Chain A
Amino acid sequence: MTEQAPVLILLFPFLSAIVVALAGIRMKGLCWPLVLLSLAGSVCASLSTLGRVLDEGTIRYHLGGWAPPIGIEFRIDGLNALVAVTVSLVALITAIYSKISVEAESKDKVSQYYAIFLLLIAGLLGMVITGDAFNLYVLLEVSALTSYALIAMGSKRATLAAFKYLIMGTIGASFYLLGVGYLYIKTGSLNMFDIHEQLVLNNLEQSPTILVAFMLITVAVWIKMAFFPLHAWLPNAYAFAPTTSSSIMGPLVTKVMIYVMIRMVLTVFGPDYAFEVLNWDNIVVWLAVIAILAGSIGALAQKDLRKMLTFLIIAEVGYMVGGVWLADETGMVGSIFHIISDAFMTLCVFLFAGIVFTKTGRRNITAVEGMFKKMPLTMVGFIVGAFSLIGIPPTAGFFSKWYLIQGGINSGNWEYVVALLISSLVNAVLFFRIIEIAYFGAKPADGHDDHHGEDHSKISEAPFTQLVPLLGTAALLVIIGIYNKDIVSIIQDFLLPFNLGAGS
């Protein structure tokens, strides 16, 4: 069955989504176990695919038995396989976590919620493994539609945010579609690898059409990943969505879009075109710097825990975009590694925010006061996630930063290095503020007092289904950090043929 593993990655969540939607009519209790089962299957399939990629190199899977470019193919190399494993694993962890919060927050729409949830995962996984530019658009829309719904099912303010997201997301997706159209009009092909071949073959480097296609696609993915000037839709959307929604979308949607960007830059246009012919690197890196700083400053200004985290996502997106446009191999390694580590660390802190919200019903960061006493294990999980975001070894976040900074120095983009360091420090401030509140209590003036404890003295350790995912993620962060060499060597093998120069 390993030969069919690539398609199974996708089929599991996709088919069980429909089963879940149907099960909702009669047997609501079946939903959660089904979700878990299917996602576990997806994780297994993606792991076995990764194993095969490591053994055999790039896997090509022809859907419908048609050879590309006639048919659609999955083309799975080290990058896809890693991201697919990440996506499915994050999804599985969130699914375990979701049991309590979904039942509490969406009550009579549990089956619909889970169906949409699984379809989102299917869409994201599909985007990751496909090798066809147009197919990516279709799956982009699947994941986009599901995200709108997942957000709109949240609180009152989430609805407007969802609408804005819908408008922005549609602009993004349409730009992508248009970009693919521009590529198609010049190359006549839709297969990513074939497009690249045609670009090289027909010497289209100077063609304005290709330039506009590149700009359109880049802007499209930037909109979708909330890169700085185009980020306005994200904070409210993720902050007011149901907790499970933000726990799944915060880590995954932006990261998968970054994957798409890397795929477009490396595979479709080729690094030579993206970095050398265009020579935008400096502008984009500066934009990334602004994004990092803006995200960090925005996060500092927030009092709402989840909103603060959403601003961190914006900063992290800046890391990765900047890392890619450093046009340096180490920077690229850092960006790709950061996709993985950031997915897990964002997941970790969002899970924590979700637990806090379900436990206290409050959004403000003061909700965590006294948590060290009441739920020590939860705090341990959170601290690992926070350390990773700050970049303290040996968590995964440190190593991604390590490569990114190295890339920045290598390519001489000092402003990027400085921005990364500032952002790390801001993260340190942010998270120690939370840790401090959790440790000391909310109001510094009161000092060591107990009257806050009375408000929710009932609060105890998070339930099993919420605690296990959190601690599991925390453990994964450390494991990824310790084994980063192996992951990085996969990434380096993947990057080898692209021949990225050291510095621009």
Chain B
Amino acid sequence: MKILGFIAVIITGILLLQAERDFPDWGDPASPANNYRLSQHYITQTFTETTVPNMVTAVLADYRGYDTMFETVVIFTAGIAIIGILRVFGSSSQLEHKEPTLTAKKPDLIVDTTCRLLIPIIQLFALYVVAHGHHSPGGGFQGGVIFGASFILLALARNLQTAQKWLPESRVLTLAGAGIFIYAGFGVAALVLGGDFLDYGILTKLLPGGVEDARSHSMLGVEIGVAFTVTAIMFSIYSNLASNGKMKEGI
């Protein structure tokens, strides 16, 4: 198997290297990919069409918003899949009603204090990343991951159950579902108002401002939806992986 794998890898590598000679130079602005009207349009027209300076956010949430919706779905799928694969339902399912047994392991003072200080800041930063994704790097995914990471940090520093007090399993699912519903909701709203799916422009009937502003606002809403889902699922994946699906205690 190893030799076979090696041969396959070498062949693939040589093949790819062959094609590489044909590539345009690295960083060449005139390469087809960079010169084609697609990327030109994104760079030059984004702001006028959506009033969003961050082209990546605009392309992500609007021009290719359909992709992004499914990107969120991928995350959601992973979350559900991991619950389906790993989660062991049983005595632990009433866990959320019980008082967490914190006495078992006393958290380290330094770690505890640091986390106390850090977690609110992390969460604030996460909110900032989500909200400011239009103007700076960031957006729903990054913000969501960071927000989820704050809960993971909490679970690591204290224990899983403390974190689960904030995000019990049913709330995780609800949050994740709500996130996708927010996203798809914008699409469906556009559908109901007579536009195509995810056509935020038509939402100007509901949102203040012109068509461009409607797009900008919808993107924010969509990003918030993404952030919901990502936060919830990241934590869900972690808590399943860390507790081997039993949701009792983490690592």
- So, do A and B actually touch in the complex, CB under 8 Å? yes
Contacts from A to B (Cβ < 8 Å) = 4, 7, 11, 14-15, 18-19, 21-22, 24-25, 61-66, 69-72, 106, 108-109, 112-113, 115-116, 119, 122, 126, 132, 134-135, 138-139, 141-142, 145-146, 148-149, 152-153, 182, 184-190, 198, 202, 207-209, 211-213, 215
Question: What distance in Å separates the Cβ of A58 from its nearest Cβ neighbour in chain B?
Answer: 16
Task: For the complex, give the distance between the alpha carbons of A373 and B100 in Å.
Answer: 58
Bound-complex Cα distance A108 to B91 (A): 13
Question: What is the distance, in angstroms, from B191's C-beta to the closest C-beta of chain A?
Answer: 6
A182 with B19: in contact, given A113-B84, A149-B85 (CB under 8 Å)? yes
Given the interface pairs A69-B38, A207-B22, A208-B22, the reply to whether A142 lies near B33 with Cβ below 8 Å is no
Task: Specify the chain A residue showing the minimal Cβ separation from B202.
Answer: A65
B81 near A146 with CB under 8 A, answer yes
Give residues in B with beta carbon < 8 Å to A. Answer: 15-16, 18-19, 21-24, 31-39, 41-42, 62-67, 70-71, 73-74, 76-78, 80-85, 87, 89, 170, 173-174, 176-177, 180-181, 184, 187-188, 190-191, 195-202
CB pair B85 A7 closer than 8 Å: no
| Contact partners of A211 in chain B: CB under 8 A | 19
Q: Tell me the smallest distance from the CB of A12 to a CB of chain B, in Å.
A: 12
Contacting B71 at CB < 8 Å: which of A4, A11, A138, A215?
Answer: A138
Does the CB pair B77–A142 fall under 8 Å?
Answer: yes
The 7 closest A-B pairs by CB, nearest first: A188-B36, A149-B81, A65-B199, A212-B19, A112-B84, A7-B197, A63-B66
Residues of B contacting A115 with CB < 8 Å? Answer: 80
- A112-B84, A135-B70 given; A64·B34 CB < 8 A: no
Q: Which of A64, A185, A198 touches B65 (beta carbons < 8 Å)?
A: A64
Given A126-B70, A188-B33, A212-B18, output 9 extra A-B contacts at Cβ < 8 Å: A15-B184, A21-B176, A64-B200, A65-B190, A65-B198, A65-B201, A187-B33, A188-B31, A188-B38
Our pick among B67, B82, B195 for the contact of A138 (Cβ within 8 Å) is B67
B174 touches A112 (CB 8 A): no
Q: With a 10 A CB-CB cut-off, give which of A7, A207, A211 has the most chain B CB atoms.
A: A7
Decide: A22 and B173 in contact? CB cutoff 8 A: yes
Closest to B170 in A: A25
B81 contact from A138, A145, A190, A207, Cβ within 8 A: A145
* Chain A min CB distance to B82 (Å): 8
Q: Is the CB of B177 within 8 A of A189?
A: no
Residues of A within 8 A of B89 (CB): 108-109
Partner of B191, one of A4, A72, A152, A215: A4
Whether the Cβ atoms of A119 and B80 lie closer than 8 Å is: yes
| Residues of chain B within 8 A of A112, CB atoms compared | 80, 83-84, 87
A188–B71 touching, CB < 8 Å: no
Cβ-defined contact, B32 with A185, below 8 A: yes
Contacts of A19 on B, CB cut-off 8 Å?
Answer: 177
The answer to whether B80 and A187 touch across the interface, beta carbons within 8 angstroms, is no
CB distance from B56 to the nearest CB of A (A): 15
Q: Which of B35, B76, B177, B187 has the most CB of A within 10 A?
A: B177
A109–B66 CB distance below 8 A: no
A331–B188 Cα distance when bound, in Å, is 41
- Asked if B85 contacts A215 (CB within 8 A), the reply is no
Tell me the nearest residue of chain A to B196, going by C-beta: A65
CA distance A471 to B80 in the complex (A): 33
Chain B residues with CB below 8 A from A22, complex form: 173-174, 177
Bound Cα distance A126, B67 (Å): 11
CB < 8 Å neighbour of B36 from A146, A189, A209: A189
Say whether A116 contacts B174, CB under 8 Å: no
A146 touches B77 (CB 8 A): yes
Contacting residues, chain B, for A61 (C-beta < 8 A) = 196-197
Q: A63-B66, A71-B63 are in contact. Are A119 and B83 (CB under 8 A)?
A: no
A4 to B197, CA, bound (A): 8
Which A residue's beta carbon lies closest to that of B24? A185
22 contacts between A and B (CB under 8 A): A15-B188, A18-B180, A63-B197, A64-B63, A64-B196, A64-B197, A64-B198, A65-B201, A66-B63, A70-B38, A71-B63, A71-B66, A108-B89, A119-B80, A141-B74, A142-B70, A142-B74, A149-B80, A149-B81, A187-B36, A208-B19, A213-B19
